[in-house]
């Protein structure tokens, strides 16, 4: 069809304008720490700050634990729904979608109220933070795993494995999981990106995570926040680029959606 | 001698006649977790919004929701969410259209999709920083405009730390989110529909008016609703941008939690309840429209 | 001059030539089928006539007017797509009336015309149904009605029945042909199903690799195939290796047995050629003296319903012969020696280097 797409190029140009200028401006801003010249002074400050590495590592740790707990919880659940309790699918999907209805600010409020008094006083335990992170990542993780299982025709694969004499453990680890590798990895990286940048839960529960650290820097310093913003952007980009790379050609990757 | 039907009945894994308990036992860990860390907290907020400081039943908190300052904050939050949802919806749709059906090369599409994934996750503290560095009082664009064009943004009335500034910032993740959600729907638009239209004598405009937009409408509406909910519940970005200064509902909730000024947690619970109610409406609207959309576009 | 004229039409995508030097003249009221496997260029050619593709070079004329520069929404050509392409947001009534609505006809006229079309396809009760509430066959009939509602001078169908079940396909193709005859509308029909093309076309254009292999009436295509490809693509064919003994006298040797063709053979003596015969032309124990005879062993009997297909092995070749089902049919046991016969006219010679499918 004769189509000349000039309108599309204009739209693309305008969009690029809006999206790239803030990034460029932020980067340039971060270079202006030393008066009169461009330098990486602000960046050096950031990297030399012991709090930077400490909070970053803390968040990374939390992210990894969240991923493990989340997958350990959701993979069996998704498998069970697919194979043994298809009627429960609607309920599980509602539950997995619930975190959208309960935004982090509301969730953390409820968590504090429920768990700040005896008999269960979890407020000062990292368990609460991790639980909160797991809840936030539910929708993305479940959707990724579910899509992955659906695309591999789970029932036939499992039945084939069983008819060949495989035990459940072998079937799970040698047949099912390797085939949904792309979904698992994309769920993991997405969760990683979300947890590392997360602010609401961490600040309300008073944990030394990367999000609150960035907020604090924003209050105290002028040019370092810009450097942090670029670092955070590159981190998210890296995680998502890895997802794209790993799930190229394979179906079942998670669709990112953003949590704030 | 068994009949064929008897032999083929009952696939090895699915045993419908097994007890209800057995069927649901595998879901127990997840259900337990959901109850402990989602249902219970939400429930306690619900209960708390009907309690006063000493624990007795009261409707005062809900009544307080209708205080002018609270109503103003709801209104402000709705305003921001509505504007960014509609604007993000329109511009996101245009961008998604440009990269899927607009005749642009394939590589552009995957670039835009990846970037949308990143941008929609970029919200929160870093995004606020980025815009402060760009359009803040000493931001790069602000100073550039003053130096080279003599335009003083802030004197002209622009303020990043206001409703419209927030709208500008929110669009940074709303627009890409729209692109991500609406792209599958655009992919589902069959080429043959447009060709059949042309074949029957319709112009491009008539195609959009009679066929394409009606078919896409459920998806467009459901996406806008999702965008609305997304903006409504956003806390981190607004907080990082204005330090809790803007009177938004999430900020109010945060303030109640941290014990700022009018420390009244029960009011906070009522606020949270109000927010959950609004979000539930959003999700219901979204799911209903999605069902309709998938019927036509799959 | 035909109603539709294509002259030396070429279409290339990058370096790949989808259609090469395609020339055809279609008379008014004629039903022409483009027949070929996937990738042969039949759909591309159709889409060029419709206006969804532009020829790289060549001329296309509809009713005398050059249409290559004309946009598709002005050609007055009706198109039916493989996957129906009904507008999902509209009822049957709205779908059929769409072309008329776009043409700004009066609502009363639209209603009347829609009624006529619904009667034509015998689907009056479906007036207010939505596409997703109908079966594939029903949707396709509505698609046909939609294309015909605007009274196009030319009707194009792009494999309209491939997505449907076999039984429905057979029924629907007859319906399409009946409607076409009734309206007298010039029609071009693209298909890969040779039985379909044979049964409903006035003329068949067999295509391969973007070129026309042969164009002619079904009877001609089947019984007088011009190339090896046409012979083997349309209908089934027995192909035997033979050596020329006497070119002028039309004598060949197959597995040591002599075969005579109806006329002289355009090859040199001693050359190896491929002799082909249709299964229905061969019969068991066909004792007429003017016929060719071959001896062999009965290797298989396949019951296909109306047809019984026998396989006879003669040396290097295995021949398939078809005979009608007959409850009183008695066959010799498998493995026994049998003689088969076929008339000389049934011999079709395929060239040495030409490929078959």
Angle at Cα C13 formed by Cα C12 and Cα C17, nearest 5°? 40
Q: Is the ipTM of this complex over 0.90?
A: no
Higher pLDDT, C192 or C273: C192
Interface check A125 vs B, CB under 8 A: no
Burial class (CB in 10 A: 0-12, 13-18, 19+), B161: middle
User: How distant is the Cα of B89 from the closest Cα of chain C, in angstroms?
Assistant: 22
Residue B120 pLDDT exceeds 70? yes
Q: Residue A167: which residues within 8 A CB-CB, separation 6 or more? A: none
* Predicted local distance difference test score (pLDDT) of residue B262: 56
Overall average pLDDT of the B84-99 stretch: 94
Q: Do B122 and A232 touch (CB under 8 A)?
A: yes
Q: Do C83 and B193 touch (CB under 8 A)?
A: no
Instruction: Measure Cα distances from C214 to A247, B168, C200, C208 in Å.
Output: 48, 66, 17, 10
CATH of the domain spanning C4-232, picked from 3.90.1300.10, 3.40.50.620, 3.40.50.300, 3.40.50.360:
3.40.50.300
Q: Could you say which of B103, B124, B125 has the minimum Cβ distance to residue A3?
A: B103
CA–CA gap between residue A219 and residue A199 (Å, rounded)? 14
Q: Tell me the chain C residues in contact with residue A1 when contact means C-beta distances shorter than 8 Å.
A: 52
CATH fold, domain C236-350, is OB fold (Dihydrolipoamide Acetyltransferase, E2P) (2.40.50)
Count CA within 13 A, CB hemisphere, residue A231: 20
Give tens-digit pLDDT for C107-139: 999 999 999 999 999 999 999 999 989 999 999
Mean pLDDT lowest among A5-14, A247-256, C162-171: A247-256
Which secondary structure element, helix H or strand E, spans residue A213, and what is its range? helix A210-220
Interface check A101 vs B, CB under 8 A: yes
- Domain A59-207 has what CATH class? mainly alpha
Q: Do A193 and B108 touch (CB under 8 A)?
A: no
Burial class (CB in 10 A: 0-12, 13-18, 19+), B30: buried
Q: Do B30 and A74 touch (CB under 8 A)?
A: yes
Q: Could you say which of C78, C87, C132 has the minimum Cβ distance to residue B199?
A: C78
Helix, strand, or coil (residue C122): coil
CA–CA gap between residue C274 and residue C350 (Å, rounded)? 5
Burial class (CB in 10 A: 0-12, 13-18, 19+), A35: exposed
Angle at Cα C346 formed by Cα C340 and Cα C351, nearest 5°? 110
Of residues C220, C219, C194, C224, the one with CA closest to residue C347: C224
User: Would you say residue B292 lies in a domain?
Assistant: yes
Q: Could you say which of C89, C98, C99 has the minimum Cβ distance to residue B296?
A: C89
Mutation pick from B39, B127, B230, B233 vs chain A, by most beta carbons of A within 10 Å, is B233
Instruction: Identify the closest residue of chain B to C49 by CA–CA distance.
Output: B199
Q: Are B24 and A94 in contact (CB under 8 A)?
A: no
Helix, strand, or coil (residue C287): coil
Overall average pLDDT of the B134-160 stretch: 83
* Predicted local distance difference test score (pLDDT) of residue B1: 40
Give tens-digit pLDDT for A166-215: 888 888 888 888 888 878 888 888 888 889 888 899 988 889 999 899 98
Q: Could you say which of C74, C98, C132 has the minimum Cβ distance to residue B295?
A: C132
Q: Residue B120: which residues within 8 A CB-CB, separation 6 or more? A: A256, A257, A258, B173, B176, B177, B180
Average model confidence (pLDDT) across chain A: 84
Q: Tell me the chain C residues in contact with residue A3 when contact means C-beta distances shorter than 8 Å.
A: none
* Predicted local distance difference test score (pLDDT) of residue A248: 66
* Predicted local distance difference test score (pLDDT) of residue B260: 60
How is chain C split among helix, strand and coil, in percent rounded to 5?
A: 30, 35, 40
Instruction: Identify the closest residue of chain C to B191 by CA–CA distance.
Output: C85
Q: Residue B266: which residues within 8 A CB-CB, separation 6 or more? A: B48, B49, B51, B52, B53, B58, B61
Q: Are C215 and C30 in contact (CB under 8 A)?
A: no
CA–CA gap between residue A240 and residue C174 (Å, rounded)? 55
List of chains touching C (3+ CB pairs within 8 A) = A, B
User: How distant is the Cα of B15 from the closest Cα of chain C, in angstroms?
Assistant: 33
**Residue C74's pLDDT band (cuts 50, 70, 90):** confident
Interface check C151 vs A, CB under 8 A: no
The separation between CA A178 and the C-alpha centre of its own chain, rounded to angstroms, equals 21
* Predicted local distance difference test score (pLDDT) of residue A4: 61
Count CA within 13 A, CB hemisphere, residue A42: 27
Of residues B281, B278, B271, B283, the one with CA closest to residue B45: B271
DSSP label of C220: H
Residue C10 pLDDT exceeds 90? yes
User: Would you say residue B277 lies in a domain?
Assistant: yes
User: How distant is the Cα of C159 from the closest Cα of chain A, in angstroms?
Assistant: 21
Of residues B17, B42, B33, B176, the one with CA closest to residue B96: B176
CA–CA gap between residue C77 and residue C63 (Å, rounded)? 11
Count CA within 13 A, CB hemisphere, residue B292: 16
Overall average pLDDT of the C210-226 stretch: 92
Residue A253 pLDDT exceeds 50? no
CATH number, position B196: 1.10.3720.10
Helix, strand, or coil (residue A116): coil
Give φ, ψ of C260 to 5 degrees. Answer: -120, 135
CA–CA gap between residue C47 and residue C51 (Å, rounded)? 6
Q: Could you say which of A97, A232, A255 has the minimum Cβ distance to residue B283?
A: A97
Count CA within 13 A, CB hemisphere, residue C117: 28
CA–CA gap between residue B131 and residue A229 (Å, rounded)? 10
Q: Do C52 and A1 touch (CB under 8 A)?
A: yes
Count CA within 13 A, CB hemisphere, residue B85: 22
Q: Do B114 and A194 touch (CB under 8 A)?
A: no
Per domain, the residue ranges of chain A are 59-207
Instruction: Identify the closest residue of chain A to C69 by CA–CA distance.
Output: A2
For residue B102, the enclosing domain spans 72-297
CA–CA gap between residue C260 and residue C252 (Å, rounded)? 6
Interface check C52 vs A, CB under 8 A: yes
User: Would you say residue B52 lies in a domain?
Assistant: no
pTM: 0.80
User: How distant is the Cα of C50 from the closest Cα of chain A, in angstroms?
Assistant: 11
* Predicted local distance difference test score (pLDDT) of residue A2: 43
Q: Tell me the chain C residues in contact with residue A2 when contact means C-beta distances shorter than 8 Å.
A: 54, 71
Give tens-digit pLDDT for C243-270: 888 888 888 888 888 888 888 888 888 8
Q: Where are the alpha helices (DSSP H) in A4-40?
A: 6-30
* Predicted local distance difference test score (pLDDT) of residue B111: 87
Q: Do B195 and C81 touch (CB under 8 A)?
A: yes
Q: Could you say which of B27, B41, B232 has the minimum Cβ distance to residue A88?
A: B27
Higher pLDDT, C176 or B21: C176
Q: Do C85 and B195 touch (CB under 8 A)?
A: yes
Residue A257 pLDDT exceeds 80? no
Q: Residue A68: which residues within 8 A CB-CB, separation 6 or more? A: none
Q: Which residue(s) pair with C296 in the sheet?
A: C338
Q: Do C73 and B215 touch (CB under 8 A)?
A: no
Q: Which long-range contacts (CB under 8 A, 24 or more apart) does B204-210 make?
A: B206/C102, B210/C87, B210/C98, B210/C101, B210/C102
How many domains would you assign to chain B? 1
Q: Do B192 and C147 touch (CB under 8 A)?
A: no
Q: Could you say which of B127, B180, B233 has the minimum Cβ distance to residue A103?
A: B233
Q: At what angle do helices B265-297 and B249-258 cross, to 10 degrees?
A: 140
Q: Are C9 and C42 in contact (CB under 8 A)?
A: no
Chains B and C form CB pairs within 8 A to the count of 68
Please measure the distance between the N-terminal and C-terminal CA atoms of chain A and give it in whole angstroms.
Answer: 42
Q: Are B279 and B268 in contact (CB under 8 A)?
A: no
Q: Are C332 and C298 in contact (CB under 8 A)?
A: yes
Q: In whole angstroms, how large is the CA radius of gyration of chain B?
A: 25
DSSP label of B182: H
Residue A119 pLDDT exceeds 80? no
User: How distant is the Cα of B291 from the closest Cα of chain C, in angstroms?
Assistant: 14
CA–CA gap between residue A201 and residue B124 (Å, rounded)? 12
Helix, strand, or coil (residue A117): coil
Average model confidence (pLDDT) across chain C: 89
Can you say whether the dihedral through the CA atoms of C232, C237, C238, C243 is positive or negative? negative
């Amino acid at each position: 069809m004769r189509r000349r797409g000039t309108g599309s190029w204009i739209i693309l140009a305008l969009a690029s304008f809006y999206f790239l200028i803030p990034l460029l401006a932020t980067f340039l801003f971060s270079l202006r720490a030393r008066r009169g010249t461009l330098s990486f002074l602000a960046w050096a400050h950031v990297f030399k700050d012991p709090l930077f590495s400490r909070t970053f590592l803390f968040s990374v740790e939390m992210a990894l634990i969240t991923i493990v707990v989340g997958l350990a919880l959701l993979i069996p659940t998704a498998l069970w729904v697919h194979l043994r309790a298809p009627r429960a699918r609607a309920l599980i999907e509602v539950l997995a979608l619930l975190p959208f209805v309960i935004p982090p600010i509301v969730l953390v409020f409820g968590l504090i109220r429920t768990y700040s008094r005896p008999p269960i006083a979890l407020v000062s335990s990292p368990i609460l933070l991790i639980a909160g992170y797991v809840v936030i990542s539910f929708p993305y993780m479940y959707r990724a795993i579910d899509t992955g299982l659906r695309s591999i025709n789970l029932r036939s694969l499992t039945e084939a494995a069983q008819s060949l004499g495989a035990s459940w453990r072998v079937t799970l680890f040698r047949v099912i999981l390797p085939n949904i590798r792309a979904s698992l990895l994309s769920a993991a990286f997405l969760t990683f990106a979300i947890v590392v940048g997360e602010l609401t839960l961490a600040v309300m529960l008073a944990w030394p995570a990367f999000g609150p650290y960035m907020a604090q820097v924003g209050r105290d310093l002028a040019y370092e926040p810009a450097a942090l913003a670029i670092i955070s952007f590159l981190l998210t980009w890296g995680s998502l680029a890895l997802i794209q790379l790993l799930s190229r050609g394979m179906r079942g990757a998670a669709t990112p959606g953003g949590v704030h | 001698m068994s009949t064929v039907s008897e032999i083929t009945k009952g696939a090895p894994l699915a045993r419908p006649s097994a007890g209800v308990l057995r069927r649901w036992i595998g879901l127990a860990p997840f259900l337990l977790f959901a109850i402990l860390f989602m249902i219970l907290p939400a429930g306690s907020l619900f209960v708390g919004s009907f309690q006063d400081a000493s624990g007795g039943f009261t409707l005062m908190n809900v009544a307080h929701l209708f205080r002018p300052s609270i109503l103003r904050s709801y209104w402000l939050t709705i305003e921001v969410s509505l504007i960014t949802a509609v604007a993000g919806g329109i511009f996101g749709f245009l961008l998604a259209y440009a990269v899927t059906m607009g005749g642009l090369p394939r590589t552009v599409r995957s670039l835009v999709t990846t970037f949308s994934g990143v941008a929609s996750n970029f919200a929160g503290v870093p995004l606020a920083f980025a815009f402060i560095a760009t359009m803040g009082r000493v931001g790069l664009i602000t100073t550039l405009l003053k130096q080279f064009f003599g335009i003083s943004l802030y004197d002209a009335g622009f303020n990043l730390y206001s409703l419209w500034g927030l709208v500008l910032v929110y669009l940074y993740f709303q627009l890409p989110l729209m692109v991500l959600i609406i792209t599958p729907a655009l992919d589902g638009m069959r080429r043959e529909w447009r060709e059949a239209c042309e074949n029957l004598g319709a112009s491009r405009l008539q195609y959009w008016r009679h066929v394409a937009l009606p078919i896409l409408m459920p998806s467009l509406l459901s996406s806008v609703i999702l965008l609305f909910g997304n903006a409504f519940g956003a806390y981190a970005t607004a907080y990082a941008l204005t330090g809790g200064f803007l009177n938004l509902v999430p900020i109010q909730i945060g303030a109640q939690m941290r014990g700022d000024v009018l420390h009244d947690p029960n009011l906070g619970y009522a606020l949270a309840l109000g927010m959950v109610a609004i979000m539930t409406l959003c999700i219901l609207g979204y799911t209903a429209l999605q069902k309709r959309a998938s019927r036509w576009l799959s | 001059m035909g109603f539709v004229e294509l002259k030396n039409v070429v279409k290339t995508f990058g370096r790949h030539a989808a259609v090469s030097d395609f020339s055809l003249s279609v008379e008014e009221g004629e039903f022409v089928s483009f027949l070929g496997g996937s990738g042969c260029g039949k759909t591309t050619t159709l889409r060029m006539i419709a206006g969804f593709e532009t020829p790289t070079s060549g001329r296309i004329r509809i009713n005398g007017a050059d249409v290559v520069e004309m946009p598709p929404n002005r050609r007055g050509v009706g198109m039916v797509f493989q996957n129906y392409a009904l507008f999902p947001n509209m009822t049957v009534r709205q779908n059929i009336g769409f072309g008329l609505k776009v043409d700004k006809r009066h609502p009363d006229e639209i209603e009347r015309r829609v009624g006529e079309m619904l009667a034509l396809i015998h689907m009056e009760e479906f007036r207010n149904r939505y596409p997703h509430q109908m079966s594939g066959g029903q949707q396709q009939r509505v698609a046909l009605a939609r294309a015909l509602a605007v009274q196009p001078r030319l009707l194009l169908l792009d494999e309209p029945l491939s997505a449907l079940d076999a039984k429905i396909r057979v029924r629907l193709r007859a319906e399409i042909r009946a409607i076409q005859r009734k309206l007298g509308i010039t029609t071009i029909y693209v298909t890969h199903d040779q039985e379909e093309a044979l049964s409903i076309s006035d003329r068949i254009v067999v295509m391969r690799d973007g070129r026309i292999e042969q164009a002619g009436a079904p009877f001609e295509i089947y019984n007088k195939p011009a190339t090896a490809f046409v012979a083997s693509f349309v209908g089934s064919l027995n192909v035997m290796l033979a050596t020329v003994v006497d070119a002028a006298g039309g004598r060949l040797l197959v597995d040591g047995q002599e075969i005579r063709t109806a006329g002289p053979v355009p090859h040199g003596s001693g050359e190896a050629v491929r002799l082909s015969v249709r299964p229905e032309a061969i019969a068991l124990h066909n004792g007429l003296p003017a016929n060719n005879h071959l001896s062999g062993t009965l290797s298989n009997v396949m019951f296909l319903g109306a047809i019984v297909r026998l396989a006879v092995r003669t040396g290097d070749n295995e021949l398939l012969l078809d005979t009608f089902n007959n409850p009183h049919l008695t066959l010799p046991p498998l493995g026994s020696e049998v003689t088969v016969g076929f008339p000389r006219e049934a011999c079709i010679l395929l060239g040495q280097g030409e490929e078959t499918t």
